[in-house]
Copies of this chain bind each other. A is one copy, B any other.
Amino acid sequence: MFFMPYPAKLSAEAVLDAAQRLLEHSGPDALTMRALADALGVRPSSLYRHFSSREVLLRALGDQAALNLKDQVLDAAEGLAPRAALLAAAQAYLAYTRTHPHLYALLLTKENDLPLEHLQHSPGKILWNTLLLLIGRLSGDPDDTDHAVAFWTFLHGFASLEAAGTFGQSGPKRGFEVGLEALFNHMEEVGQAGKS
């Protein structure tokens, strides 16, 4: 092993870490193979030993983000009563979208065209099942798809509008809390009454 003309500098993890930093710091358009290579101190072509294309790399980032988001949501809800758990989960979800806006955007735009077999265990599906679980504890229905859709819709909508700067200088006031209260009330009311 005396000759090492080109010693290994990269690993898939190192590339992903640098890509994540670059993405969060400068946005998706700045995440080019050239810029990423510069950040890692290698030549662009070296990256293709670890990711066969930029698109594959982006999907890996998105999958990783989905799992991290799920973990933070689950941790926040841990040990709390159903309604408090959902509120904490919502706040954790929002906190993630604020600290990782570009990763979060990747998460929802790169969830398409999968081979359907593995779609059941995709990171996005795992996140969905986590929300479903927390909601079931409040509404009493362990498969309360309707409320889960409404809840996720609300969380994503708020994160998205906030990131786009739509709320403007006046801010969203207490719209987030008010909307959650409306949804939670509805979950509690309809829960024991069965499906309408």
Sample of 19 A–B contacts (CB below 8 Å): A108-B166, A109-B164, A111-B165, A111-B166, A119-B168, A124-B166, A145-B170, A145-B173, A146-B178, A147-B175, A147-B178, A149-B172, A150-B182, A153-B157, A153-B158, A154-B154, A157-B157, A157-B158, A157-B160
Shortest CB distance A188–B (Å): 10
- Neighbouring B residues of A147 by C-beta, 8 Å: 175, 178
The complex places the Cα of A166 from the Cα of B109 at a distance, in Å, of 9
Cβ-neighbour of A161 out of B152, B175, B181 (below 8 A)? B152
Given contacts A108-B166, A178-B186, contact A153 B149 (CB under 8 A): no
A92 contacts B by Cβ under 8 Å? no
Cβ-neighbour of A146 out of B119, B145, B155, B173 (below 8 A)? B173
A148 contacts B by Cβ under 8 Å? yes
Q: Is the CB of A161 within 8 A of B156?
A: yes
Q: Which residues from 85 to 120 on chain A have a C-beta closer than 8 Å to any C-beta of chain B? A: 108-109, 111-112, 119
- Neighbouring B residues of A154 by C-beta, 8 Å: 150, 153-154, 157, 179
- Neighbouring B residues of A48 by C-beta, 8 Å: none
A32 contacts B by Cβ under 8 Å? no
A185 contacts B by Cβ under 8 Å? yes
- Neighbouring B residues of A124 by C-beta, 8 Å: 166
- Neighbouring B residues of A174 by C-beta, 8 Å: 146
